[in-house]
Amino acid sequence: MTLPPPKSGRDRRWCSIMDEQPYLSLYLRTNTIYIFRSAIKILDYPPYIRFLISQDGTQLLLERYDRKSLTSFKIPKNFDSSSHGIRVVSKKFCMILASIQHWDPQKSYRVPGKVFPASKVIRFDLSQADIIADFVSL
């Protein structure tokens, strides 16, 4: 079965974006979360992003956010399609994730995301994290 072509420019944009797998990398030794460009693009280059953690600590949601708060992170104004991604440095957040997941704080992890376009969120299943290196310097 073939699907009809997207009707509007917005629908076409979502189809091309959906082909890109969003990823998140966690460099625990440097307390850095690296958000790949594809994730920011999927969220339509928001002014801020925010992470939400499920109660059991296995899921991490990344959502667009419209204002500064204690739980949001600003997307740089010069971030565009030529940028590779953004770095968020948060020792407390990284240590919380490492503790919940029983991750080695000296290692780095990459987590694939699943896009929910209607909600404009990306869910990262932390149980699917792969070790990417013993230590990668950013």
Pairwise CA distance, residues 94 & 85, whole Å: 18
Q: What is the pLDDT of residue 12?
A: 43
Global pTM reads 0.77
> Looking at the DSSP assignment, which residues form a beta bridge with residue 73?
49
Instruction: Return per-residue pLDDT of the chain as tens, 138 residues.
Output: 333 444 444 444 434 444 478 999 999 999 999 998 889 888 988 999 999 999 988 999 999 999 998 888 998 887 766 567 889 999 999 999 999 999 999 999 999 999 998 888 999 999 999 999 655 555
Convert 100-135 to b/e letters by CB count within 10 Å (16 or more is b): ebebeeebbbbbebebeeeeebbbbebeebeeeeee
